[in-house]
Chain A
């Protein structure tokens, strides 16, 4: 099956800093989503972005499908941004989402 690698595994920032999270995948995809898992365990959908660039407030994401990677940018980070960020991809041949291991982000005040 498809492999999804996220980096870095852990990231510690001071409030106000910017960061870039990366997701590499091993095969063609027709679906790519970024999720934020909050401290209560909920998966919050950030972006549906199988290709191109999207922005939502302080967050933006870019997927370069031909090169099999996606980036999530967080600007002016806040303590409420803390949590685990997951990239999940759907292969063109199937319907399931395959998740990466996640990036644990800690934003300190």
Chain B
């Protein structure tokens, strides 16, 4: 079964540093998403990306966050200046068409110290 691959699986960073989380979507999928889950809480939507632009974003997705698909294969989430409250599991998800199910990656656990 096709997989969504996320790297790194764990990252520890100092407050104020920039981090880039990477995702390799399933090859024929068109819709890309980032979600996050703070420890012990539910999964929250951050942003959706289609046709090389952001199609929807949540109130969490402020100016500190950005997404891009730089080379047509990887899909990245950048956090410019990390805060302690950015510590969470970040999930990439993709789907092939609007009425299909989502496939989630295995996540990147980000710890900001």
List A residues at the B interface (Cβ < 8 Å): 30-31, 33, 35, 40-43, 45, 48, 86, 88, 94-102
Offer 8 A-B interface pairs, CB within 8 angstroms, sorted by A: A31-B102, A41-B37, A42-B106, A95-B48, A95-B98, A96-B48, A97-B102, A99-B44
- B18 interface residue per 8 A CB criterion: no
Does B107 lie within 8 Å of A41, measured CB to CB?
yes
Set A31, A41, A95, A101: member contacting B101, Cβ < 8 A: A31
| Chain B residues within 8 Å of chain A by Cβ, number | 26
Known: A31-B101, A42-B106, A43-B91. A96 touches B45 (CB 8 A): yes
A96 to B102, CA, bound (A): 10
Q: Could you say which residues of chain B place their CB within 8 Å of the CB of A48? A: 100-101
Does A42 lie within 8 Å of B102, measured CB to CB?
no
| A38 nearest CB across to chain B (Å) | 10
| A79 nearest CB across to chain B (Å) | 22
B81-109: which residues lie under 8 A (CB-CB) from chain A? 89, 91, 93, 98-104, 106-107, 109
Q: Could you say which residues of chain B place their CB within 8 Å of the CB of A95? A: 31, 48, 50, 55-56, 98
Q: Majority SS of interface residues in chain B? A: strand
Does B104 lie within 8 Å of A43, measured CB to CB?
yes
Set A42, A45, A102: member contacting B42, Cβ < 8 A: A102
Q: Could you say which residues of chain B place their CB within 8 Å of the CB of A101? A: 42
| B36 nearest CB across to chain A (Å) | 11
| B74 nearest CB across to chain A (Å) | 20
Q: Please name the residue on chain A nearest to B37 by beta carbon.
A: A41
Does A31 lie within 8 Å of B45, measured CB to CB?
no
Does A94 lie within 8 Å of B56, measured CB to CB?
yes
User: 9 closest pairs, A vs B, by CB?
Assistant: A48-B101, A96-B45, A99-B43, A43-B104, A42-B106, A99-B42, A101-B42, A95-B48, A41-B89
- B75 interface residue per 8 A CB criterion: no
Does A98 lie within 8 Å of B104, measured CB to CB?
no
